[in-house]
Structure 1
Amino acid sequence: MKPHRRMRRGGRAERSARPAKEPPPAELTGMDIVLVGYFSAKERQYLVIMDEFADSMAALGAHVVGRFVQRRGVSDGGARTMDAPYSSRTLVSAGKVEEIALVREKTRADAVIFLNPLTAHQRETLAGLFNCLVLSSRDLLP
């Protein structure tokens, strides 16, 4: 069945919005994973939160081979834009994406898991950049 189309100004067809794709359920047992957390500079306990996140992934059977933290608002310029992600496409900065990709490749991790929620578009973009499964903690934890 073809998606419903409606006409926009100028006579071009516009596709109706499709529901976001949900990631496949992941079985983490035996998987090597890289963890990523994006935090405001106001969050002082970010290392504790990352430790708890790593523990919860280990409880699901995963082996954590890398951890990354992106902090926002540490500098004066960052403080003004603290509530916005570095990139709507990847959530984190381009430099952090490169760092994560290098470690993912070096360790041959099976997945990169973000503590923060990801949109379907971010998940797909990051999966292409990392060449592996990308999930959010919301996809795995109740």
Structure 2
Amino acid sequence: MHQPRKRDRRPARRGRPEPTQRQAFRLTAVDVDVVLVGYFSAKQKDFETLMASAATDLATRGARVVVQIVQRRGVSDGGVEKMGLAYSSRTLLSYGKVREVAQACDQANADAAIFVSSLTERQQRTLTEMLGCPAVSLSDILAAD
């Protein structure tokens, strides 16, 4: 015969919280110090031009780019097959590069880390926690104006 089923004493799972409205980071103050981070594949040869253009866009909005950091994918032998993919779906960058950005943000006392690539909400939350300052994509800043 069947044995009676034991009662599950684990707390009931709650539904997912409602997604919060994504707050756009605004460069409201003049002379805001930011770290500019770019993620590019090896196929993109004009990454220096894109970084310079992003720095100019930020300067016109009152930000001062104190450090520029670039992560390139596919430069090494192992990365050629995965050139178009992010190193990590959680952080976009490799773990070592995230540590480098966090150290640069800390040393420069940066107000934000601006990513040339667009970030998902999860990446934005994770990077904000890891870097100790807001992580924002450049497209969000340009769209806020």
TM-score grouping bracket, smaller chain normalisation: 0.7 to 0.9
TM-score by length of 2: 0.83
Cα deviation code 1:93-123 (max 9, x no counterpart): 0010111111110110000000001011111
Structure 1, unaligned stretches of length 5 or more? 1-11
Structure 2, unaligned stretches of length 5 or more? 1-11
Matches within 5 A, 1:11-30: 15=15, 18-19=18-19, 21-28=21-28, 29-30=30-31
The one-letter code matched in structure 1 to 2:124 is R
Q: How many Å apart are 1:135 and its aligned residue?
A: 0.6
Equivalent pairs counted in the alignment come to 131
Identity of aligned residues (%): 42
Residue 41 (1) aligns with residue 23 (2): no
Q: What root-mean-square deviation, in Å, do the aligned CA atoms of Structure 1 and Structure 2 show?
A: 1.7
Larger Rg: 2
Q: Counterparts of 1:112 and 1:104 in 2: how far apart (Å)?
A: 7
Cα deviation code 1:17-64 (max 9, x no counterpart): 844641334125321000001001000000011000000000000011
Kept in 2, the 8 Å contact 1:117–1:138? The answer is: yes
Matches within 5 A, 1:50-69: 50-69=51-70
Kept in 2, the 8 Å contact 1:21–1:120? The answer is: no
- Greater mean alpha carbon deviation, residues 71-80 or residues 20-29: 20-29
Q: Counterparts of 2:132 and 2:102 in 1: how far apart (Å)?
A: 8
TM-score by length of 1: 0.85
- Greater mean alpha carbon deviation, residues 48-57 or residues 22-31: 22-31
The one-letter code matched in structure 2 to 1:50 is M
Q: Counterparts of 1:16 and 1:103 in 2: how far apart (Å)?
A: 35
Q: What is the DSSP-based 3-state SS (H/G/I as helix, E as strand, rest coil) of the residue aligned with 1:57?
A: helix
Kept in 1, the 8 Å contact 2:74–2:82? The answer is: yes
Q: What is the DSSP-based 3-state SS (H/G/I as helix, E as strand, rest coil) of the residue aligned with 2:37?
A: strand
The one-letter code matched in structure 2 to 1:102 is Q
The one-letter code matched in structure 1 to 2:123 is Q
Kept in 2, the 8 Å contact 1:112–1:133? The answer is: yes
